Structure 1
């Protein structure tokens, strides 16, 4: 199993996919073509999304094909040498992936060792469910079940900030609700500019910010790059 699960595509003030492209290049070393899943796009077209990703992947010499260009996306996934799933709205992404049979097809490829790269919503769908996404349910998928390639949940774009004068729940409070309802699950708060690289049973944090770990009955804690995350596996 090989996964690169990225919190966000773009750091503030930077170009699209600029900060993680070196990590993606290293992770996909030897790969000349990837299959892209653009279904998280809502306010722009799948063609526009493909072009945006291809423009960045041109820098690392990788051709990008998109599942929306084919009549049988699941069949294309089962032939892919690497799979990339972009961010956007997680509910829209999961709904379309379920309709096209991609949840099962991509999980089969991950289990076979095919490299998988996801950012934001693309990281959410590698988890058992979409329940720790930050997105609004703008459409209704068949279920909240996703690929379950990892055993824990990710909350991408995790932040601690609570604006002054804001009386609503913080991100941490939302996650505490989730673990109260799902006491056996770990949630990894993946801050922007960070990613998780999984190789077999090994997992490592890449980035300058710590990962915030949540589990029912335990105080939330911080784990820095270089420290063990084996408990998540």
Structure 2
């Protein structure tokens, strides 16, 4: 399996411009003038044309030709002909619903496993795990299944923070992920902070960026993962 996949926690870090911090992460995975296909289906509160323009502007330093799958008559053909795939953030449930609606889940998985590079952020990263059961999003629509691309054989939680606002009595993120480990104690969750990403290159998996990640699995709760850690063992857990 020759998977090259970059799972970015977020499209922004702090107050930086849209996708600005991702450029250095993405650059090694592409070449100028390549044709990459963007999948905007997570963008429920934004028009797809506008979403595409945001991505084109944010990733302009890469010199890529970026089109959106919604502008192509044959989505599968567009995927097959693209040099790489971008999948943006927004609502994970809507993203996966649309991928199933257009019969693209297995298609994307097969193309990426055959070597086509994949870059996702937020919801676009969440769908690379076994399922979307550890998304942070509201289930605004019901996909046929929660099963996702399985480019990673575990669960992913992007935008990770365990901050609790003063006076707020809802569950923290760690408490929510604990709930998952109670019903599925054998499946790891890797939680990544904004500004970081998981990079899979074949059988190697690395936490990239300058912030720590966190592991949840069974009785292991919020175990620190050092920035830059080799996480390849989780590809065969």
TM-score, length of structure 2 as denominator length: 0.94
Please say if 1:137 is aligned against 2:139.
yes
- Runs of 5+ unmatched residues, structure 2: none
**In structure 1, what is the Cα distance between the partners aligned to 2:164 and 2:78?**
43
State the match for 2:172 in structure 1.
Answer: 170
Match of 2:188 among 186, 189, 192: 186
**In structure 1, what is the Cα distance between the partners aligned to 2:205 and 2:216?**
17
Q: How far did 1:77 drift?
A: 1.4
The CA RMSD over aligned residues, in Å, is 1.3
Q: How far did 1:27 drift?
A: 2.2
Contact 1:161–1:170 (8 Å) recurs in 2: yes
Question: Quick check: 32-41 or 66-75, which moved more?
Answer: 66-75
Match of 1:100 among 95, 99, 102: 102
Question: Quick check: 111-120 or 54-63, which moved more?
Answer: 54-63
Question: CA 1:145–1:166 in 2, change beyond 3 Å: closer, same or farther?
Answer: same
Question: CA 1:89–1:105 in 2, change beyond 3 Å: closer, same or farther?
Answer: same
Q: Return structure 1 stretches of 4+ with deviation > 4 angstroms.
A: none
Q: How far did 1:225 drift?
A: 2.2
TM-score, length of structure 1 as denominator length: 0.96
Match of 2:8 among 3, 6, 10: 6
- Runs of 5+ unmatched residues, structure 1: none
State the match for 1:127 in structure 2.
Answer: 129
**In structure 2, what is the Cα distance between the partners aligned to 1:95 and 1:227?**
33
Match of 1:37 among 39, 64, 87: 39
**In structure 1, what is the Cα distance between the partners aligned to 2:41 and 2:86?**
11
State the match for 1:228 in structure 2.
Answer: 230
**In structure 2, what is the Cα distance between the partners aligned to 1:191 and 1:23?**
15
Question: CA 1:226–1:42 in 2, change beyond 3 Å: closer, same or farther?
Answer: closer
Please say if 1:71 is aligned against 2:73.
yes
Paired residue total: 233
SS at match of 2:179: helix
